[in-house]
Amino acid sequence: MRLRNKPWAKEKIASYPHYVIPHPEQYKGRWKEVFGNDHPIHIEIGTGKGKFITEMAKLHPHINYIGIELYPSVLVSALDKLIENELPNVRLLNVNAKDLTNFFAEGEIERIYLNFSDPWPKKRHEKRRLTYRAFLELYEKVLVDEGEIHLKTDNQGFFEYSLVSFSQYGLVLTYVSLDLHHSDFAGNVMTEYEEKFAAKGNRIYRCEAKYPPKHRFA
């Protein structure tokens, strides 16, 4: 995503601590308290301008959503959607996904969404891809037993890479679509990026993968 410089973004984010949690490490293991209920928690890594997460939150009021986004200039748009919609089941974190285990305890998350992640196509950047082995290890640490990753992308190379990376890690693919917008998948919620690229006629790829039971090495 091209980033516009918005020097006021950080300040705006800081003024809505109820929506963009300022020191999320203090809620590690206690996110149920933040939401005031014990509904399942789904996180989106790279939540961007927040269309996906806010629409999902409206459709699924009994799921709690946490959107993680590194860039304040983008996150501020997601914040605007929260302010406008007053959604009780969404929070945002302005943090780096690499630090995920600082913010969430083991088994605290039920599902991770990866939507149109940066594909980092150069081989030497493989470690930055959000489906690289080290990230899959990280996700496993915060997910429940047999937790899920739901991934969408328009990038063919990143999708091919992710399928193999998931499989080699031991995740089981439970759903694959190689052309989501011409499939019978119901209830797709589009991201901003997805709308733009689908309008150009790009194929959207989607998969769901499930971690193996944690007792597999026991």
Query: What are the residue numbers of the active site?
Result: 118
Binder of a second copy out of 19, 132, 159, 193 (CB under 8 A): 159
Q: At what angle do helices 51-59 and 72-85 cross, to 10 degrees?
A: 30
Is 162 in contact with 131 (CB distance < 8 Å)? yes
179 binds a second copy (CB under 8 A): yes
Is 79 in contact with 19 (CB distance < 8 Å)? yes
Q: Using CB under 8 A, which residues numbered 64 to 123 contact a second copy?
A: none
Q: Which residues, 6 or more positions from 41, have their beta carbon under 8 angstroms from its beta carbon?
A: 31, 35, 63, 64, 65, 66, 108, 109, 110
174 binds a second copy (CB under 8 A): yes
- Rank residues 111 and 206 by Cβ distance to a second copy and give the closer one: 206
Residue 80 marked ligand-binding: no
180 binds a second copy (CB under 8 A): no
Residues 164 and 114: their CA atoms lie apart, in Å, by: 16
Q: Which stretch binds a second copy (CB under 8 A): 14-22, 47-55, 65-73, 157-165?
A: 157-165
1 binds a second copy (CB under 8 A): no
As annotated, the binding site for S-adenosyl-L-methionine includes 44, 69, 96, 118
* Residues making contact with a second copy (CB under 8 A): 156, 159-160, 163-164, 167-168, 171-179, 205
